[in-house]
Amino acid sequence: MRASKKVKVLILISLFFFGNILTVFPSANSDLLIGTWQNASGEVRVEIYKKGHMFFGKLDWLKNPYRNGKPKTDIKNPNPALRSRPVIGLIIIREFMYEGNFVWDNGKVYDPDSGNDYSCKLRLLNRNSLEVRGFIAISLIGRTEVWTRIVK
């Protein structure tokens, strides 16, 4: 084989290899969100998981899981039929999609303390720190909190 053909073959192999790596890494990065996270005050833990291509999170643990000696329920829910459901196990993070650059967007976060849904954006600061930005309508009007990964 001539040298120029060898170079062309090597270039084609390299392009194929690097092209496949770039398509593999985004999904690997998206899964870095999966795990159990504790809010900044240490009162709540949320287990984030993947369902299809979207990410969800359920309330996994509460520092104070009881109200008047009974397990807390979703008493502030705007739908009266849902007010008796237990808060632990409640899906409070839903329908997030990985946007790239360690950002998950277009999802909602539910606050059982108020019964309100908020738009939300999640950004991984490092392997064990997650920035959670909840907001109404536009991202400028909202609140940001940093959650910490719980290693089990």
- 37-58 confidence digits (pLDDT tens): 999 999 999 999 999 999 999 9
Residues in the chain: 152
If you average pLDDT over residues 112-138, what whole number do you get? 94
Nearest one of 61, 70, 55, 147 to 107, comparing CA atoms: 55
Cβ(108)–Cβ(94) below 8 Å: yes
- Domain assignments of the chain as residue spans, ordered by start: 32-150
Report the alpha-carbon angle 110-112-115, nearest 5.
Answer: 80
Identify the pLDDT of residue 37.
98
The structural architecture, per CATH, of the domain 32-150 is: Beta Barrel (2.40)
Cβ(74)–Cβ(90) below 8 Å: yes
Distances (CA, A) of 110 to 71, 75, 81, 101, 133: 19, 13, 16, 24, 12
Identify the pLDDT of residue 23.
38
- 65-83 confidence digits (pLDDT tens): 999 999 999 999 999 999 9
If you average pLDDT over residues 98-115, what whole number do you get? 96
Dump the DSSP string for 122-152.
EEEEETTEEEEEEESSSTTSEEEEEEEEEP-
